[in-house]
Amino acid sequence: MAEDDHRHISRDSLFLMAELRVPGQEELIRVKVRNLSAGGMMAEGPVRAVRGTLVEVNIRNVGWVEGAIAWAQGDRCGIAFSEDIDPIIARSPVVIGEGTPRFVKPVGQWVEPKRLQRKI
């Protein structure tokens, strides 16, 4: 495939947070998703991987997606997904559940649960 063959794919510019996992490294890397398409994404963050490195990305409402680093420049990199996703789902309101990453759960005022008062 020529260098410009993939440029016809529609991309959504957006700002989301995602978790990136590089096999062999235990810690998850938190990245900013700068743009997203069905076949890949551009991530910004402290990813220290070279072209061709297999990775997994946890995108909100989509879940874990496998892919490979397509390019890397400074603190940004392109990730080509192994299988297409629906990028519109990532823009949908957050669905709360067990698989929801902690950084996309809504933040609210903590309310202390009612306690039974003891009569003296």
Higher pLDDT, 115 or 68: 68
For the chain, give the mean pLDDT: 80
Higher pLDDT, 97 or 93: 93
Tell me the pLDDT tens digit for each residue of 5-59.
555 555 556 778 999 998 888 899 999 999 999 999 999 999 888 999 999 999 9
State pTM to two decimals.
0.69
User: Positive or negative CA dihedral for 90, 93, 98, 101?
Assistant: positive
Query: What CATH number does the domain located at 5-100 have?
Result: 2.40.10.220
Judged by DSSP in three states, 112 sits in: coil
Q: How far apart are the C-alpha atoms of 70 and 21, rounded to whole Å?
A: 15
